[in-house]
Amino acid sequence: MPPSIFLNYRSSDCASLAVVAEREINNVLGAGAVFRDNSSIPLGTDFRTYLWRRLFACEVLLALIGPHWWDPIEPGGRAPVMNPDDFVRRELEAALTWNIQVIPVVTEGVGKLTGRQFPASLESLPYRQYHEVRTRSADTDLRELAHRLGDPERQSSAPSAGGVSMRDNRGIVQTGSNSQATQHFGSRPDDD
């Protein structure tokens, strides 16, 4: 069975990429494999409740990160991810807390995430193996990602509950869990 995939993205940065990612991944893994807020939340539904339920139920969160991901909302302000109320940050923190596999998907030009500004609760994000999507080959890059996500071997080696153990983009094995996010979100709720 294909994994349930949640798209995490900043509208001001990767909204178009999110649309293409949803299309290409669903084409490979089957309709409904991807949750993207604007196309998946029924009209008139309280998006807060629906969004968190879908995040709780997913197996993989794809963090779409483009060149404007860190851009301040107000001139001279700080990066949105440094705000504890930032929805993108809160989704990432929750996924890390609940041991959902988090895969950064960076656009061309972003490069490695190490050396970028992240809050302590997301300190493991730059060290997670990422997938790059290039402008000229976005469709192909996203189909490749979908095939990798649908690979049964990947599913059997995904991080398990109780901690994360995976190789980062420098080849270093990272283990442990995210205690600051656990304090904020608590344990993963049971699906109702």
Q: Which residues of 70-82 are buried (b: 16+ CB within 10 A; e: fewer)?
A: beeeeeeeebbbe
162 pLDDT band (50/70/90 cuts)? Answer: very low
Number of neighbouring beta carbons within 10 Å of residue 146: 22
Residue 78 DSSP SS3: coil
161 pLDDT band (50/70/90 cuts)? Answer: very low
Instruction: Summarize the confidence of residues 84-92 as an average pLDDT.
Output: 96
Adjacency order of strands within the sheet including 5-9:
34-35, 5-9, 60-65, 101-107, 131-133
| Predicted local distance difference test score (pLDDT) of residue 148 | 95
CA–CA gap between residue 74 and residue 48 (Å, rounded): 24
| Predicted local distance difference test score (pLDDT) of residue 168 | 37
| Predicted local distance difference test score (pLDDT) of residue 117 | 87
186 pLDDT band (50/70/90 cuts)? Answer: low
Closest alpha carbon to 8 in 51, 43, 45: 51
**Which carries the bigger pLDDT value, residue 152 or residue 94?**
94
Instruction: Summarize the confidence of residues 132-144 as an average pLDDT.
Output: 95
| CB-based contact 64:14 (threshold 8 Å) | yes
Task: Sketch out the chain's domains with CATH numbers.
Answer: 5-185 (3.40.50.10140)
Tokens of 39: 């196309």
What confidence tens digit (pLDDT) does each residue in 30-74 have? 999 999 998 999 999 999 899 999 999 999 999 999 999 999 987
| CB-based contact 149:25 (threshold 8 Å) | yes
DSSP state of 160: -
Residue positions counted in the chain:
192
CA–CA gap between residue 109 and residue 116 (Å, rounded): 13
| Strand spans (E) along 34-179 | 34-35, 60-65, 101-107, 131-133, 164-167, 173-176
Residue 188 DSSP SS3: coil
